[in-house]
Amino acid sequence: MLKIADITYSVEGRPLFEGASATIPEGHKVGLVGRNGTGKTTLFRLIRGELTLEGGAISLPQRARIGGVAQEVPSSEVSLIDTVLAADTERAALLAESETATDAARIGEIQARLIDIDAWSGEARASSILRGLGFEPDQQLLPCSAFSGGWRMRVALAGVLFAQPDVLLLDEPTNYLDLEGALWLESYLAKYPHTVIIISHDRGLLNRAVTGILHLEDRKLTYYSGPYDTFAETRAARLAVAEAENRKAEARRAHLQSFVDRFRYKASKAKQAQSRLKMIERLKLTSTPQEAALAKFTFPEPEELSPPILTLEGCAVGYGGPPVLRRLSLRIDQDDRIALLGRNGEGKSTLSKLLAGKLHPSEGRLHRSSKLRIGYFAQHQVDELEVEDTPLAHVARLRPGEPPARLRARLAGFGLMAEQAETAVGRLSGGQKARLSLLLATIDAPHLLILDEPTNHLDIESREALVEALTEYTGAVILVSHDMHLLSLVADRLWLVKGGTVAPFEQDLEAYRSLLLQGDEAKTVTKPAEKPKKPVTDLAALRTEVRKAEERLAKLSEMRAKLSDRMADPALYDADRKADLDQFTAKFAELEAAEHRAEALWLEAQERLEAAGG
């Protein structure tokens, strides 16, 4: 087991841990959570022995191997498959020694150990892991130098998974994975034979791949059994009890203080007043560490445009060679919330760039409303910020005529307060940089907001704030994300990017997840599958889910009613408007299917609420 006993550690005089303790049993899968900057990554470095504790101890079983993904992955000429095989240093050393060993006893020991660690199936296991992380068999033979940094990080992850350390430490492993890779990793970790500790803000991963949550807050560690939703429910209940106790203590303190204020200078009551002062000193409030105030995202509201705001008719798009996508006939209205699904490399980012105007169609017709404004956020844009400039300077460049107070108000609307506004971007956290990039993408109040992996650097609370902001936003949203929680709460239409084209996906996200895990998303689905039941959480969360389901259903119903009114226009049935009629008809069928799915989700949420006594 991993035992953390009364540890203390500070960075530049700022204490990160003070008497923190926790015990993680062998073989447990644990999610390490806490707000950005509390010291989660530092704890990993302390466990690995890279930093020296100021007090306390961290102990592991003798000879326990600790593994994690290195921050820098070398760009070598070694093939991907050989790089992964080399990550198991014991296997590599034994195989090398087996080639030169001459002593019969030692040869026997080597062969026995090679059998124990299943060395002979190594290439098949390594290839399977690489395939799960998105590398086709022919790509596995290419050198690491042929891939970008993000893809080499996947190779590094594959290596540490192949090596199977006794304690596996993963720091935000899904940040450089797409949805398919993230779902594969969830499944793999759930079956991993040793201890796993994962720093993650991905609720899906923390609900499906771990058996406990280790919460870092106020320099202490608290272990909760169960997945993230159980942790959130338990912690909320504990905070509620502590706050109730504090209210009682505050009322008692106020009563005692009132007596002291009235009689402390009256001789006949002086002793009683002194006695009550001592009682006030002994009254201790229960510690109720609260999350920092949830910094909401404040998206500016665009004016309403006549539908459609964007249409594609027989479009093809690529990068100068053969088209990546072709035969694109799509329509987007301002009230659309669309999630793009599809394996990595199928063209989700290409479609996003086409819609954003970053790429132009090589054939066909793309029509945008003349007043259409588009906001575009891609994960790489966080790295393109000017690291020497402040957030205030970034915003001032886009709004040179605005007074500083207005610019600061814009930053505050995205959770960047006075201190961060004047801090060089290079010193901001990843989450703060992501907030700044989102502000820059939405500053013009776009009618269409395209978000490609917007949550990579955001903690769980910030992700929830983003969900709320997108729910209230009155523009269209196109989402590419590996965060199933975000997609399920925001998107009401699903487009599958596959085989060089794009088409509506007629099932829901849970069905898509199941198909991906079966390696069978190519099947055409005509009948919605029954969704697996979700674990019951606290009543407040269930009521919120029911409310959001009702809102989604009402919105879809309203959209279908509006479209029905448009289709009642006799002019739409003129011969020269057949293309418009076909688009309206297709969208009407899409909306009907989406409404049926939303109704099923609402009924399921209502049943779960009733079953929980709500």
86-105 pLDDT, tens digit each: 999 888 999 888 888 888 88
Choice among 70-79, 191-200, 269-278, 415-424 with the minimum mean pLDDT: 269-278
**Token pair listed for 136:** 């086709």
516-563 pLDDT, tens digit each: 777 644 433 333 333 333 333 355 556 666 676 677 677 777 777 777
Nearest C-alpha neighbor of 454 from the set 424, 491, 417, 403: 491
Is this structure's pTM higher than 0.75? Answer: no
Number of neighbouring beta carbons within 10 Å of residue 344: 18
Please compute the mean of the pLDDT values over residues 570-595 and round it to a whole number. 73
What one-character DSSP code corresponds to residue 1? -
463-499 pLDDT, tens digit each: 888 988 998 899 999 999 988 888 988 998 999 999 9
Rounded Cα distance between 426 and 390, Å, is 9
Nearest C-alpha neighbor of 560 from the set 598, 508, 531: 598
340-384 pLDDT, tens digit each: 999 888 999 999 999 999 999 999 999 999 999 999 998 777 778
CA distances for 589 relative to 504, 558, 563, angstroms: 10, 14, 11
Average pLDDT value over all residues in the chain: 84
Q: What is the pLDDT of residue 347?
A: 92
**Kind plus residue range of the DSSP H or E element containing 376:** strand 374-378
Q: What is the pLDDT of residue 518?
A: 75
DSSP string, 212-256: EEEEEETTEEEEEES-HHHHHHHHHHHHHHHHHHHHHHHHHHHHH
Q: What is the pLDDT of residue 611?
A: 72
Q: Do domains 1-64+166-226 and 310-519 have the same CATH topology?
A: yes
Quick one: pLDDT band at residue 150, thresholds 50, 70, 90? Answer: confident
Q: What is the pLDDT of residue 545?
A: 66
Tell me the H-state helices in 402-536: 404-412, 418-421, 430-442, 460-472, 484-490, 509-517
Q: What is the pLDDT of residue 196?
A: 96
Q: What is the pLDDT of residue 294?
A: 47
Which of the residue ranges 297-301, 493-497, 583-587, 596-600 has the most confident prediction, judged by mean pLDDT?
A: 493-497
The distance of Cα 546 from the centroid of its chain, to the nearest Å, equals 22
**Token pair listed for 163:** 């090596």
CATH architecture of the domain with residue range 310-519: 3-Layer(aba) Sandwich (3.40)
614 has pLDDT over 70:
no
Helix, strand, coil content of the chain in percent (nearest 5): 50, 20, 35
DSSP string, 532-546: PPPPP--HHHHHHHH
Q: Mark 528-557 as b/e (b = at least 16 C-beta within 10 Å).
A: eeebeeeebbbeebbeebbebbeebbebbe
58-76 pLDDT, tens digit each: 999 888 999 998 766 667 8
Q: What is the pLDDT of residue 373?
A: 97
Per-domain residue ranges for the chain?
1-64+166-226, 72-165, 238-282, 310-519, 533-614
Q: Looking at the DSSP assignment, which residues form a beta bridge with residue 220?
A: 217
Q: Cβ contacts of residue 264 below 8 Å, gap of 6+?
A: 270, 273, 274, 277
Rounded Cα distance between 353 and 344, Å, is 15
Is 523 buried (19+), middle (13-18) or exposed (0-12) by CB count in 10 A?
A: exposed
Q: In 66-211, which ranges are E strands? A: 66-68, 167-171, 195-199
57 has pLDDT over 60:
yes
280-297 pLDDT, tens digit each: 776 655 544 444 444 578
Choice among 19-33, 258-272, 332-346 with the minimum mean pLDDT: 258-272
Fold for domain 1-64+166-226? Rossmann fold (3.40.50)
Quick one: pLDDT band at residue 268, thresholds 50, 70, 90? Answer: low
Rounded Cα distance between 351 and 353, Å, is 5
Number of neighbouring beta carbons within 10 Å of residue 366: 18
Give SS3 for 364.
strand
Which of the residue ranges 140-149, 153-162, 524-533 has the most confident prediction, judged by mean pLDDT?
A: 153-162
Rounded Cα distance between 600 and 335, Å, is 21
